[in-house]
Structure 1
Amino acid sequence: MKIKFSLGYLLLTILLFCAEVLIATVFKNNFFIRAYLGDVIVVILLYTFVRTFIKINSIKLISGIFLFSCLIEFAQYFNVAEKLGFQKGSLMYIVIGNSFSWIDILCYAVGCMLLLIPVYLNRNTMSF
C-alpha cells in the first residue's frame, strides 16, 4: 500500500457520487433503484474513493470494503445511530442508517463481485 493520487479514480468517484445523489433525490420513489442499485453502487464508490489516494491490493481492498459495509449494516441492527444521539435526518444518521437488511448485505456482495470482474480479467497486473 502506498499513497498515490489517481485522477481517473477521482473522476469515477465523482461520477458514482453524482449517481448516488441522483438515486437519493430524483429516483427516491423508484423502489428498485433506491433500495438495491444504490447499495450495489455504494461499495464501488468506496472502492474508487480509496483508490483515488492509495495504491493497494484490489482483493484486500474489496474484502475490507465488504467487511466495512457489513459492519455498518449490523450497526443498523443495533440502532447505533440513535444510541450515539444522532437526530433523524442528520447526515450521520443517514450515513449509518437505521434499518438492518440481509438484502442490503447481498447488494454489497454483488457490488464487490462486480469489482472483482476486472481484477480477475487483469489478474496478472492487479491494476484495477
Structure 2
Amino acid sequence: MKTTNTASASYEGLGKSGKGHISTGSGAFSAQPYGFQTRFEDKAGTNPEELIAAAHAACFTMALSFKLAEAGHEDGSVATSAEVTLEKDDSGFKVTKSALSTKGKVAGLAREKFEELAQEAKTGCPISRLLDTEITLDIRFEG
C-alpha cells in the first residue's frame, strides 16, 4: 500500500517581516497563517513544529490503536499529546525532541501489556521513524 498526501505553503515578504499561509491538499485547513511571529512570538497562527507535533500525536495514537486491535481488543480509547522542541545550535535550528504523552483506557488489559504495545507503536509509527530526534513517551493507563 502506498499513499501520497500534499500540503502547500506560501510566504510574502522576507525574513521576520514576512507572512505565510499553509494549506493541506485535503482541505482540512486552508490558508492558515504562519511566520516568524507565530513561530517565535506566540502570535495567532501555526508553525512547522506545531504541525509536526500534531502529525506525531495522530500517527502514534493510530499506531497504538491498531496494536491494541491486533492484540484482540475491540473497545477502548487512546489520547496523545506531543510536544516538539526546536533548538538552535552552531549549525542552525533543529527539532531536537518529540515528547509524547498518551492516556489509554482498555478494559481487561494489563498495564504492562499496554506499555509494551505503546513502546512498539512509538518505534513503528511512520512519523517516529521519520524524525531524526529523541522521542520520549509518558504513559497513563486505566485498565
TM-score by length of 2: 0.31
Identify the structure with bigger relative contact order (alpha carbons < 8 Å, sequence gap 6+).
1
TM-score by length of 1: 0.33
Query: 1 or 2, which has the higher helix percentage?
Result: 1
Query: 1 or 2, which has the higher strand percentage?
Result: 2
